[in-house]
Chains A and B, each alone.
Chain A
């Protein structure tokens, strides 16, 4: 049944997200071409400036849309009119939650993959990674693999997005138990839980920096290679752990039952 639910949930956003992803890749290709042609022709130079802004708008949407659509689908499907179908399907509450989380994971990851590909199309040159390496050398002491740093950074942002989504999912389930002030309660629970989560992460990161012997007194923070990787891995681990914790809390809360208007 989970496969069937996944198919249903994924197909809900697929059309819109596919259009967005194709548009982003296409615009990045067009912008890159215009930039190449713009070296000799003013018309293409002007066109590339226009497409540059279109690219950034689409890039932001590619990241935000999967996040927002999953949040809206979760509340509509479990507590809106559609819930009359969702809760009467012969599936368990656990399967419903699993499907929503897997869908969010797939769509958020797909958005980031698409963004990374489009950025490479836009900016890749034989010296692309060398330039980023040069930039990183001002922040990290010691030799680091640029690809590894970028991969860690993208992973960190993805798990951060997923953590916020899992907090929102949990907040919706808790807030919608009662009939009153549901949106306000969702917002408040999300804000409180997010604050607590970020505080937990900060404490862990400070602890890791202290263990690595980094002093946080200087105005410009330059991290040793080992400390940088420790901080990144701590971020990914803590965000993932919080996401998993809220995933189980959401399941537990939903299994206590719903009250649909």
Chain B
């Protein structure tokens, strides 16, 4: 299998604080990979670096063999942990915005998902709750036919009742040949869909393994392995 995302000896510091410490990581195409770690372990930093939102202190990141730039942004669909859309826009205008900039954006699919998630296309974002905005961003992100989807805490602001539906929506809508790189604290909710897990702790990758093999070896769920490994006394 080809490598869709590769971090080569990546270090990232903010002033004195080193957030990532010589990270080497390869993500293969066509897999669903979970990035799991405690708060402040460097998950979001790793994602932001791949999306040109942070600049590496040292090392190199390649997406589909290319350094971060216009060409990689065309094939990466990124869902950040915060809402980033202009509040003055209507839902339909955000769809038009994505359609304008991303050639791979499927507007019909987005409109179908809006109906499924009961989002009114004529509603202004300023009138929407945080959860509704997060659902809209998810719709926009998964309506692209990208090669790599990077989802940072996609279930963070979603109520428990909607989580399964959101997960099903993600799974049934993203391209099967694409790669899904996802981070969350709700491991129990997503571990059933993961092909591979990556544990990150204190800016270092401490484990990268096939999810099923890890479960069998440890004879317990990934959620439990995570809890054991990162237990805070």
Partner-B contacts on A (CB < 8 A): 1, 4, 7-8, 12, 81-85, 87-92, 178-180, 256-260
Contacts and interface: CB of A to CB of B under 8 A. Distances in A.
Contact of A8 (B52, B71, B97): B97
Interface residues of B, number: 26
A139 to B, nearest CB: 46
20 contacts: A4-B100, A7-B100, A8-B97, A8-B100, A81-B82, A82-B85, A84-B84, A85-B85, A88-B51, A88-B53, A88-B73, A88-B76, A90-B70, A90-B73, A90-B101, A91-B70, A91-B73, A180-B15, A259-B14, A260-B48
B101 A87 contact: no
B68 to A, nearest CB: 9
A179 B16 CA distance: 12
A84 B53 contact: yes
Given A4-B101, A82-B84, A179-B15, 18 more contacts: A7-B100, A8-B100, A12-B88, A83-B84, A87-B52, A87-B53, A88-B53, A88-B76, A90-B70, A90-B71, A90-B73, A91-B73, A178-B15, A179-B14, A257-B52, A257-B54, A259-B54, A260-B54
Contacts of B71: 90
B18 interface: no
A174 B55 CA distance: 14
Which of B83, B84, B88 is most buried by chain A, counting CB atoms within 10 A of its CB? B84
Contacts of A256: 55
A252 to B, nearest CB: 14
Chain A interface secondary structure, helix, strand, loop or mixed? Answer: loop
B122 to A, nearest CB: 17
A206 B86 CA distance: 48
A116 to B, nearest CB: 29
Interface in B169-191: none
B101 A89 contact: yes
Given A90-B73, A90-B101, A81 B83 contact: yes
B8 interface: no
Interface of B: 14-15, 48, 51-55, 69-71, 73-74, 76, 78, 80, 82-86, 88, 97, 100-102
Give 9 closest A-B pairs by Cβ, nearest first: A257-B55, A84-B84, A90-B73, A260-B53, A84-B80, A90-B74, A85-B84, A81-B84, A90-B70
A87 B72 CA distance: 12
A259 B55 contact: yes
A260 B71 CA distance: 21
Contacts of A90: 70-71, 73-74, 101-102
A52 to B, nearest CB: 33
Contacts of A257: 52, 54-55
B70, B71, B82: most-surrounded residue (chain A CB, <10 A)? B70
A79 to B, nearest CB: 10
A14 to B, nearest CB: 11
A12 B85 CA distance: 12
Contacts of B100: 4, 7-8
Nearest to A257: B55
A92 B85 CA distance: 20
A176 to B, nearest CB: 12
Contacts of A87: 51-53
| Most-contacted residue by chain A among B69, B76, B86 (CB, 10 A) | B86
A3 B140 CA distance: 22
A83 B53 contact: yes
A88 B86 contact: no
B11 to A, nearest CB: 14
A179 B55 CA distance: 13
Contacts of B82: 81, 84
A30 to B, nearest CB: 29
A88 B88 CA distance: 20
A246 B74 CA distance: 30
Nearest to A180: B15
Nearest to B82: A81
